[in-house]
């Protein structure tokens, strides 16, 4: 799902950097509020887990890839702002160290996966929990957050050949339109979303059991 360098126009990624920086600064304030001796080991463990999941990427037609996220469990345990900050740090390290994603496209990956994924998971869970069992709400939160993140990335990529062309009409950046990139991203991420939903349920269940035993 990471967008690599060269696929996004400066007219898109420069404003995205400004927006993402503002969101990250605010998120850092929320992070400091919950940071402590008890929360730090869990934050570190989930960050490493998310890093590993997103590092296992399979290439897809249309110029992107499919991988797990580990975002929704993070968001439900520590809140969407903390999840957004930690996931964005994971995305930045992957871009710098392993070339997963790009430096120019980092803010779009951060917003799409970190911000939208975290907030969609958090509020989907709150809404679904009011009407259904907790297990179903956890699964749905993981599934929906994955699909929304994939859709955001698809829309960002798919709009480029329509907006940025040379004099002959050839795309300057990402070459495939919505008819290619939306199914290329959303269809495989349905499977990823199912896995993300199951992981979210298992992570929350295991950590709740561990906390209850420690009490």
Q: What is the pLDDT of residue 61?
A: 56
Segment among 32-41, 96-105, 157-166, 175-184 with least mean pLDDT: 32-41
Give the phi and the psi of residue 87 in degrees, each rounded to 5. Answer: -65, -40
d(CA 58, CA 120): 24
Q: Cα–chain-centroid distance for residue 100?
A: 13
d(CA 99, CA 91): 10
Q: What is the pLDDT of residue 21?
A: 96
Q: Cα–chain-centroid distance for residue 13?
A: 17
| Residue 163, number of CB atoms within 10 A of its CB | 12
d(CA 23, CA 27): 6
Residue written as token pair 């070459």: 175
Contacts of 195 (CB under 8 A, 6+ apart): 68
**Running DSSP on this structure, what letter comes out for residue 165?**
B
Check if CATH label 1.10.1760.20 holds for domain 10-214: yes
Domain definitions of the chain by residue range: 10-214
Q: What is the pTM of this model?
A: 0.86
Closest by CA position to 185, among listed 89, 99, 84, 58: 58
**pLDDT over 60 at 58, yes or no:** yes
Q: Which residue has the higher pLDDT, 141 or 78?
A: 141
Q: What is the pLDDT of residue 148?
A: 95
Kindly report, residue by residue over 161-196, the tens digit of the pLDDT: 999 998 888 999 999 999 999 998 898 889 888 988
Q: What is the pLDDT of residue 141?
A: 95
Q: What is the pLDDT of residue 51?
A: 60
Give the phi and the psi of residue 171 in degrees, each rounded to 5. Answer: -60, 140
């Amino acid at each position: 799902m990471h967008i690599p360098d060269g696929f996004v126009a400066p007219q898109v990624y420069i404003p995205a950097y400004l927006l993402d920086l503002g969101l990250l600064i605010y998120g850092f304030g929320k992070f400091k509020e919950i940071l402590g001796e008890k929360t730090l080991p869990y934050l570190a463990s989930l960050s490493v887990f998310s890093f590993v999941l997103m590092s296992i990427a399979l290439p897809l037609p249309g110029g992107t890839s499919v991988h797990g996220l580990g975002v929704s469990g993070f968001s439900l345990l520590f809140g969407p702002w903390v999840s957004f900050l930690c996931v964005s740090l994971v995305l930045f390290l992957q871009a710098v160290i392993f070339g997963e994603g790009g430096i120019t496209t980092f803010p779009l990956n951060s917003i799409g996966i970190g911000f939208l994924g975290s907030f969609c998971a958090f509020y989907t869970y709150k809404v679904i929990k009011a009407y259904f069992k907790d297990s179903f709400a956890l699964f749905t939160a993981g599934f929906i957050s994955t699909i929304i993140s994939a859709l955001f990335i698809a829309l960002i990529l798919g709009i480029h050949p329509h907006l940025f062309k040379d004099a002959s009409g050839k795309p300057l950046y990402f070459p495939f339109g919505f008819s290619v990139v939306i199914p290329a991203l959303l269809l495989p991420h349905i499977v990823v979303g199912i896995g993300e939903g199951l992981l979210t349920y298992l992570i929350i269940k295991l950590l709740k059991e561990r906390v209850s035993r420690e009490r």
